[in-house]
Structure 1
């Protein structure tokens, strides 16, 4: 079992790396990769432009490229962490983003269930309240 404080620290590092990756237009995946377990999995709803399950560092890098094709900038604001007493941690936050295609600024609530193993992110399962505003903003 991973310490909940360790989970929070790896997630904060991931969120910051994700923000810098988008700001640099996808030029440096290595900082994100350093937060990911080799067997990592990202799940995204079918309704989003970057839908699917993305496995391993290669899959996650492809997901980040698709994500970066959608968002010019994105930040995870005010994350609140809810440790589960296991390797899972739940994170409630607000996402603030600017769509690349439309230039639309959007804010949405997000809940994520994240599994951390060996001090790195193993799995991310986001739960979106409503993906329609997200896909509309994305164009």
Structure 2
């Protein structure tokens, strides 16, 4: 990438595509895929409803389906970017979501560690403050 603002732009594009995917019931993964490196990996904690390591576009599409089965709406608000070299960035944000199964509205802080390669997300590892209320809301 070479530039932290390039990392920020790809992440903003990913967050917007993720929110749109959820809002439209997961009908089109292509906008999300355009932000992802073909060798991308998403790491999720074992305590989450969509736990595990999700590899490549196929894996991330399966993760988004599981993610979309959990949340009726979800947005990443007020992302603050902390560059760490040319291709690494940390993002502190607030997630605002509504669970599909319970109808519960929930907000939580999130820190993500992300690697970007050639203008696309290579890996994402979220750090949730507390997964217990998130999984409780998700049902």
Residues 67-92 of structure 1, C-alpha deviations (whole Å, 9 max, x = no match) = 00000000000000000123110000
Query: Is residue 42 of structure 2 the alignment partner of residue 32 of structure 1?
Result: no
Separation in 2 of the partners of 1:110 and 1:2? 25
Ranges of 4+ aligned residues in structure 1 off by more than 4 Å: none
- Structure 1 residue 128 displacement after superposition: 0.7
Other structure's SS at 1:95 match: strand
Q: CA RMSD in A?
A: 0.7
The aligned residue for residue 131 of structure 1 is: 131
The aligned residue for residue 13 of structure 1 is: 13
Separation in 1 of the partners of 2:134 and 2:22? 17
| TM-score, normalising length: structure 1 | 0.99
Other structure's SS at 1:57 match: helix
The aligned residue for residue 67 of structure 1 is: 67
The aligned residue for residue 90 of structure 2 is: 90
Q: Which moved more, 1:1-10 or 1:28-37?
A: 1-10
Q: Which moved more, 1:56-65 or 1:2-11?
A: 2-11
- Structure 1 residue 2 displacement after superposition: 3.2
Separation in 2 of the partners of 1:108 and 1:2? 31
| TM-score, normalising length: structure 2 | 0.99
The answer to whether the Cα contact below 8 Å between 1:2 and 1:116 also exists between their aligned partners in 2 is no
- Number of residue-to-residue matches in the alignment: 139
Q: Which structure 2 residue ranges, 5 or more long, are not aligned? A: none
Separation in 2 of the partners of 1:122 and 1:62? 17
Q: How does 1:43-122 map to 2 (within 5 A)?
A: 43-122=43-122
- Structure 1 residue 3 displacement after superposition: 1.1
